[in-house]
Every structure is written in structure tokens, then in C-alpha cells.
Structure 1
Amino acid sequence: MSYPTLFNERRTAQAAAFLLHQAGGRLPLLKLMKLMYLAERESLKRYGEPISGDKLVSMPKGPVLSNTLNLMNGAADESVRGGWADWIEGRAGYDIALRDPSMIRTPQQDLLELSAGDLSVLGDTWAKFGHMEKFELVRYTHTQGCPEWEDPHGSSRPIPMGRLFRELGYSDVGVRSAITHLNEQAILNSTLG
């Protein structure tokens, strides 16, 4: 089954901003990516809904959000209004930082693209994994944390949604239903525009 296109740059930027806000404004790129992947995974587990809607990919250092990684690596020049470039500073070495930490008084007040469920998932992700160093997170996602990840042997490989939903405990019927829902949502989003 194909992967639905649901990527939302504004929601992605605000999810990154939430995690950066929790960290005091700055995180290593690798750690931020792992936290964002784990939050996306948890949202799909809890609600069957993504936060970013990004394409999930296995890479040598674990699973990543494909478009988000591109934004982290400098593709924000083509950012949408209210998107990545408005919230996140250009990459500085191996770190990612908030463009202006004062933009966030509280996540509930200022990260308005995110639902209460999104904020809950992001908060729980930070509480569970925020204390971990970046390479601890890499080890976690390679071992017990993300069995959907497969070593791409130096390249990258898409993570099929069916495999992810099965690893999250969905039944075969649940997997089909979840993927159908995401595909329908992608069609609706493209129709609305």
C-alpha cells in the first residue's frame, strides 16, 4: 500500500518548536529528529493520526521523518508562511534552535496548529525521552523502541505504514482501516488545498 501524503509544515514546525521550547531553545539535530519520530509514532499509536504527516524512513542512525530532515538540513528557504523558517533558526553545526524563544509564552497559547492531543503526545514524549542523549536515542530506536526500523545499509528505505501499524499492535483489519483513513484524509487535504 502506498504512503499517504499528509505532510504539514506548519504543524511540523510547531512540534519542533514545542520540543525545543522544552529543551530551553536548542537541541542537537539528531536528538530533535528522534524525539519528533517518537512523537509521530506515539500519535499514530494513540489516535491513528499523525502530527507532522511526514513520510517515515529508515536511515543508518534510525527512523526519521523525511521532509522534516530536509527542513532541518536547510530546505526551509522554500518554507510556507508560518512554517519552519518562521519558528526554527537555520541549522548551526549539529544543533537546531528556536528562531525566537519569546514567541512561545506557553505551548497552549502560541502553538495553535497543534491540538490538545498533539500537545499531550509531545509532552509525554519529552517526559519519557527528553533526558536521553542523542546516541542513547539512536540505540533505543535501533533496538526495542522501533522494531519497524530496518537497517538500510548506508542508504534509506521507506517504512511501510502497514508494518508500523502492525508493530503498534493494530490487527490486520485495524491496519487496513487506519491506512484507508489516512489515504482518505490525504485526498481530502489535497482537494481542499
Structure 2
Amino acid sequence: MYNPAKAAHIIAYLALKHEKRAISMLKAVKLVYIADRESIRQHAYPMLDEQRASLPHGPVNSMTYDLIKGRVQDPEWSRILKEMTHAQVPVIHVQDGVTVDDLDELSDAEIEILDVISERFKHKDRWDMVAWTHNPKNVPEWRDPGPSSSKIDIEEIFKAVGYDDPSKHVDFMTERQHIDSLFKRLEMTVSG
């Protein structure tokens, strides 16, 4: 089940790594995809449960992209983040008063990945990120969709990050997501 609050916390964490508590929207989209992909590589499980797609500027996590673009609204998103434009570049800022301690959707393992990704790409601008994700040595599952988009199957990502039997890992991930969903429903029933 997709968790928009967690997506907001991931982007806020990445933005807090920048001096101005802000990150360009395009760079944020790329870093979310790369971090999610790294989570799959390290733990055989993504940070975000959502569809991924190839777009002209590279791969994206689809629901998170829709949130960033303002196509979908979420109260936690607007509590944590605000969108602005600086020098004609759309930028995501962390709301005043929000600190890392407020980002409780993130596990320690996810924070470790975000720290490594943030450090690795800290000197790259949004167009450097697009170029990096277009390189088939870095992201072989992205294919230029022309002016539209095309789905990136999760099995392609498992294969690209080095898993020999991607379907086995996708089956395990699907079972785990189902169990997580059951626990969330149980929590809501007990607390409601």
C-alpha cells in the first residue's frame, strides 16, 4: 500500500541535507528513484510501494511523482513540504520548524541509504541527475519512452541490481506487502 507520508519524509530528509533545506523537484524525483532502487538492491524491498515508470527525463516513482507535481494532494505532504519556484526552477522546501526528528516514517536502514545517496549526488544538479539516470550503465531498466511514458516492471529493477531470480524476490516482496497491509488494517481496527 502506497504511503504518501513516507514519500514526503524521504524528500524532506533529502532536502534537509542541503543548506537551504530545499531541493529541486527534478533532483528530488531522481534521488527518490535511486534510493528506492538501492533499497531493493540491499534489502530486496523498496522504500515505497508504488509503480515506477520511464519518462523522458528518466525513471520515476509514479505516485511520488504525482505528489511532487501537485496532481495528488496529501495532508502530511503539505505539513512537511512546500513547493516554490526560484529562478524559474521548481523547488521543494521543508516547512519551517520541521526537523529530522519529525520524519518518523523512515527506518534506520532507509536513513543510511538516504545518507549515502545524498552524499554521492550532493554536487550534481538536476540535469546531471537526468544524465546519470539516462546512462544504461547506471539505470539499465530505464528506456527512452519518447514523448510519453512506459512502465518499469519491478522484476526489471531486481534483475538490474543483480538478483538472479527476480520473480522469486518479487513473490517474496508481494507476500511481505500483503502481511504489512494486514497488520496496518489490524492496527487501525484496534486503535479505531
Equivalent residue, structure 2, for 1:3: none
Question: Structure 1 length as normaliser, TM-score?
Answer: 0.86
TM-superposed CA distance for 1:138, in Å, is: 0.6
Does the residue aligned with 1:49 lie in a helix, a strand or coil? Answer: coil
Tell me if 1:63 matches 2:56.
no
Higher strand share: 2
TM-superposed CA distance for 1:126, in Å, is: 0.3
**CA displacement, residues 96-133 of structure 1 (integer Å, 9 cap, x when unaligned):** 11122x210xx3x3321110000000000001112101
In structure 2, what residue type is equivalent to 1:95? V
1:73–1:91: 8 Å Cα contact kept in structure 2?
Answer: no
Equivalent residue, structure 1, for 2:143: 150
Does the residue aligned with 1:103 lie in a helix, a strand or coil? Answer: coil
Equivalent residue, structure 2, for 1:134: 126
| Alpha-carbon separation, structure 1, partners of 2:180 and 2:146 | 35
Equivalent residue, structure 1, for 2:188: none
Of 5, 14, 34, the residue aligned with 1:10 is 5
In structure 2, what residue type is equivalent to 1:146? V
Identity rate, percent: 28
Does the residue aligned with 2:59 lie in a helix, a strand or coil? Answer: strand
TM-superposed CA distance for 1:91, in Å, is: 4.6
Question: Structure 2 length as normaliser, TM-score?
Answer: 0.87
In structure 1, what residue type is equivalent to 2:114? L
In structure 1, what residue type is equivalent to 2:111? L
In structure 2, what residue type is equivalent to 1:13? A
Of 167, 180, 186, the residue aligned with 2:177 is 186
Runs of at least 5 residues in structure 2 that lack an aligned partner in the other structure: 186-192
Aligned residues: 179
**CA displacement, residues 9-31 of structure 1 (integer Å, 9 cap, x when unaligned):** 11111000000101131111111
Equivalent residue, structure 2, for 1:103: 98
**CA displacement, residues 40-87 of structure 1 (integer Å, 9 cap, x when unaligned):** 11111001121122221100000011111111111353x15xx21211
- Aligned pairs for 1:14-33 (under 5 A) are 14-23=9-18, 24-33=20-29
Runs of at least 5 residues in structure 1 that lack an aligned partner in the other structure: 1-5
